[in-house]
Amino acid sequence: LAIVFLGLRFVKVGALYHGVRAQSFMKLYVLYNMLSLFARLFYSLGEDLLDSLYGCCASAKMDYFRFVITFAANAVYMFLHSVFMFVQIMTLNVAINSNDKTLLIILISSQFVELKSSCFKKFGHKNLFQLACSDVVERFELLIFMIVLILVNMAEIGIGT
């Protein structure tokens, strides 16, 4: 975890922000939806990598080469996932700071797409539970993103200092 924090010090957040800000509304909409799609893929990959690391450490006979490779893969995953989440937060920050109602349109349209994809499907009990859990995680993540953005914007305009 410390390795990932050290690596994140070299990420230029300002360059990410201005790179996202230079995009048009339609590109911002596509970028946000692509980021939400890749977030699900990243979560799946991370879960598999962490399971692999746990299996490597929990085995009776520990293979140190396998442990080092798995640990390095987990560190790279955490770094990439952190940068990915920075880009997601920057996309929402650009949407909040824009003059038009981009944020509202992005959030509502992404929810309609999600509602449309799961509205007419028949779900079993296990699938419905998994869908509800993933929805709770997604909304909690969005809440955390919004809290971070509110704190960043408050710090930028000087409230609370």
Question: Mean pLDDT for each consecutive 10-residue tract of the chain (161 residues)?
Answer: 74 73 72 80 87 84 85 89 83 76 67 64 75 81 86 78 56
**End-to-end alpha-carbon separation of the chain, Å?**
30
**8 A C-beta contact, residue 71 and residue 60:** no
**8 A C-beta contact, residue 110 and residue 30:** no
Q: How far is CA 15 from CA 6, 21, 30, 52, in A?
A: 18, 10, 20, 34
Prediction pTM value: 0.72
Q: Tell me, what's the pLDDT at 124? A: 77
Rounded to 5 degrees, φ, ψ at 160 are 85, 10
Q: Tell me, what's the pLDDT at 161? A: 56
In angstroms, the CA 124 to CA 134 distance is: 15
